[in-house]
Amino acid sequence: MALSLSECTQIVDELNRALLGGFIQKTHQPRPLTLTLDVRAPGQTYSLLVCVEPRFARLHLTSQKFENPPTPPPFCAFLRSHVEGGRIVKINQEPGDRIVSFTIVKAGQVCVLVIALTGNQANMHLLNEGKLILRSLRESRMKVGERYTPPTLRPMKPPESLPPPAMPARVPQDETVAYRSEEIGKLLPESSIQEKDPFAEQYPVSAELEAIYGQQELEGGKDAILEQQLGQVRKALKHAKRKIQALQEDCKKTERFREYARYGELLKSHLHEIKKGQETITMVDYYDPALPTLTLPLDPAKDAVWNMEDYFRKYHKYIGAQEHLQPRVNQAHQEVARLEAKLVQLEQGIIDPDFSTKPKKASGPSSSSGTRASKGRPAPAQGYRTYTSADGLPILVGKTAKDND
């Protein structure tokens, strides 16, 4: 959840003590909605974290180091040109709201960095001295060049009509820190609690917000990864099942050609009986011990030899399907079983660090060498065919009469 109003007030007090009068040295944007500002104050350099992601909107000092992109995003680059080297002269909070403003003076020019920690509408705006918007981190109802106006506060109900809060809205800072410490104690190991952290001792509000929201971001990141992996596995599983269905339909189409080799052999012995334009032929099936009578369809537009060869061609389709399609069906079934097992694992909340919807391929020198060989020139065709006699002697037969000379 985003920063509460009470926490926002306390963190503004802490930032005033630490950053007021400091100079902004560096500005980074490690994440799309998170920025860090390095501020040099007398005797110390502070790192200020600003996050406007709706679920984790917050503002506090941080002791963490973030990995920054090699090239600054557009908002970060714009912010650098306006605030780096500038001096923070004022840090204030909008009364009754979670909006914090940093007034920065650089080379005589005044600009205001407005940080709205307002849940789904959380945003960051850079204003000029006249309160005109120069740039916003997120899309906003207020456009560049318009005058910035803070949102209107909704009227609050009388205090007596409100239910008693779990934690007082206004408590001394020491009591609030103690309240937060109970939550931190659940998140941190005993060894880390016993060891004194200078950062936590000096800036307790920032330290505890950093620990709590860091844990929430970690859990939220795991949930996002889990949802992403679940979506990818479900999509891959659906695709694999459709693939099995398509392959099985192709196998079913060629299954009717199973006996076509026998039909072709029967036609071969009855070629002399087939006349042009004939649509069927009736013959005795000598391959069946019962010697039944078969009636085979013919293409009347083709001759007897073509009809015979067509039966053999269709039989070869059946053989090809058995040799190539059936192994692919078996492989697809294995893929479905693998994806279903992975889906069960993910539904139990177990994230796979080596996640991939594709099966791992066996790597070896044969695969790479085969790829290179296929890209090369094809081997030249020989001008003859080679046979071996019954005595084991090679016999060379040319493809043409000239080759046999």
CA dist 123 and 403 (Å) reads 84
Does some domain include residue 330?
Answer: yes
Using 50, 70 and 90 to split pLDDT, how confident is the model at 176?
very low
Amino acid letter, 83: V
Does some domain include residue 33?
Answer: yes
Same domain, 13 and 133: yes
Same domain, 135 and 236: no
Q: What is the dihedral of CA 398, 399, 403, 404, to 10 degrees?
A: 50
Q: What is the dihedral of CA 258, 259, 260, 266, to 10 degrees?
A: 170
Burial classification of residue 263, based on how many CB atoms lie within 10 Å of its CB (0-12 exposed, 13-18 middle, 19 or more buried): buried
Decide: helix, strand or coil at residue 254: helix
CA dist 7 and 3 (Å) reads 6
Using 50, 70 and 90 to split pLDDT, how confident is the model at 364?
very low
Quote the pLDDT of residue 372.
47
CATH number at residue 255: 1.10.287
Between these two residues, 45 and 273, which has the higher pLDDT value?
Answer: 45
The percent of residues in the chain predicted with pLDDT above 90, rounded, is 29
Residue that is last in its domain, among 112, 134, 155: 155
Residue that is last in its domain, among 319, 335, 358: 358
**Tokens 């537009």 map to which residue?**
301
Between these two residues, 67 and 320, which has the higher pLDDT value?
Answer: 67
Same domain, 150 and 9: yes
Same domain, 148 and 234: no
* Mean pLDDT across 345-363: 64
CATH number at residue 101: 2.30.310.10
The boundaries of the domain holding residue 86 are 5-155
Does some domain include residue 219?
Answer: no
Render pLDDT for 90-142 as a digit per residue (tens, 0 to 9).
Answer: 999 999 999 999 999 999 999 999 999 988 889 999 999 999 999 999 998 89
* Mean pLDDT across 240-262: 80
- Per the prediction, the chain carries an average pLDDT of 79
Quote the pLDDT of residue 257.
79
Q: Around Cβ 55, how many Cβ atoms within 10 Å? A: 14
Does some domain include residue 394?
Answer: no
CA dist 323 and 108 (Å) reads 81
Long-range contacts of 254-259 (CB under 8 A, 24+ apart): 254/317, 254/318, 254/320, 254/321, 254/325, 255/318, 257/314, 257/315, 257/317, 257/318, 258/315, 258/318
Does some domain include residue 195?
Answer: no
Same domain, 23 and 146: yes
Same domain, 261 and 350: yes
Using 50, 70 and 90 to split pLDDT, how confident is the model at 179?
very low
* Count of structural domains, the chain: 2
CA dist 207 and 197 (Å) reads 9
Q: Is the pLDDT of residue 70 over 80?
A: yes
Same domain, 234 and 138: no
CA dist 334 and 32 (Å) reads 40
Between these two residues, 370 and 48, which has the higher pLDDT value?
Answer: 48
Same domain, 235 and 148: no
Quote the pLDDT of residue 263.
80
Quote the pLDDT of residue 181.
47
Decide: helix, strand or coil at residue 295: strand
Quote the pLDDT of residue 37.
96
Same domain, 247 and 147: no
Same domain, 31 and 143: yes
Same domain, 253 and 353: yes
Does some domain include residue 329?
Answer: yes
Q: Around Cβ 98, how many Cβ atoms within 10 Å? A: 24
Residue that is last in its domain, among 155, 171, 206: 155
Least confident range from 81-90, 96-105, 327-336: namely 327-336
Does some domain include residue 342?
Answer: yes
Same domain, 242 and 344: yes
Is the whole-model pTM more than 0.85?
A: no
CB of 67 within 8 A of CB of 26?
no
* Mean pLDDT across 353-372: 52
Does some domain include residue 379?
Answer: no
CB of 135 within 8 A of CB of 79?
yes
Quote the pLDDT of residue 355.
62
CA dist 345 and 348 (Å) reads 5
CA dist 288 and 290 (Å) reads 5
Render pLDDT for 144-163 as a digit per residue (tens, 0 to 9).
Answer: 999 999 887 665 554 443 34
Q: Around Cβ 247, how many Cβ atoms within 10 Å? A: 21
